Amino acid sequence: MAIDLIAKIAPKNAAFTGMVDAAQVLGGGGSGVLPDACVPLLDEDDFASDSATKAPTQQSTKAYVLAHAGGGAATFQHRWTANGPFIAGTAVDGAFISDTAFTITAVWLYRGTAGNASETIVDINKNGTTMYTTQANRPTIVWNDADKKVDCTLPDVVTIAAGDIITMDIDQAEATTPTDLIVVIQGA
């Protein structure tokens, strides 16, 4: 059940002098017109009304977040970026050291501007060794991929331990000058 509330906002540094009655909050005499210093609130734990005119209370927001948090492990993402033109190379955009253990659940590749032939192939490494032991499954985008992004096959090795060093290599770049490569791994 939703409960409509109205919060009266006191000027900065104003002393609290006690409760305000409904007539005073509603602009005197219960006119229903809110004074400028009032904000309509809605105490609704399920956000069912989807109100665009009333703000949720702190308690409602907390209840909603806790009810919809999923209870699962936190999601982790890391992104490597090669801004501008890119070529084949190792440890592109540096390395990261994982501060927690996780399992890779998704890998995405995006390339802004295509070359004019061939394909771009990347590899993800853990502690200097490929995680794609089946090399044919490495994240790959062909030069004429229309939407510029690929949901990639997961690596053969998907577990990361705290302290592992993860890097991304560009094993092959498209012909001419492809630009703006982004590789993202997600885990839980």
DSSP sequence for 112-180 = EE--SSSEEEEEEEETTEES-SSGGGS-EEETT-TTSEEEPPPPS--EE-TT-EEEEEEEE--SS--EE
Confidence of residue 6 (pLDDT cuts 50, 70, 90): very low
Q: What is the pTM of this model?
A: 0.62
pLDDT at 53 over 90: no
d(CA 137, CA 109): 13
% residues pLDDT > 70 (the chain): 70
Q: Map out the domains of the chain as residue ranges.
A: 3-67, 76-187
For residue range 36-49, list pLDDT tens digits in order. 555 677 777 777 77
Whether domain 76-187 has CATH 3.40.50.300: the reply is: no
For residue range 61-103, list pLDDT tens digits in order. 666 666 655 555 558 899 999 989 999 999 899 999 999 999 9
pLDDT at 50 over 80: no
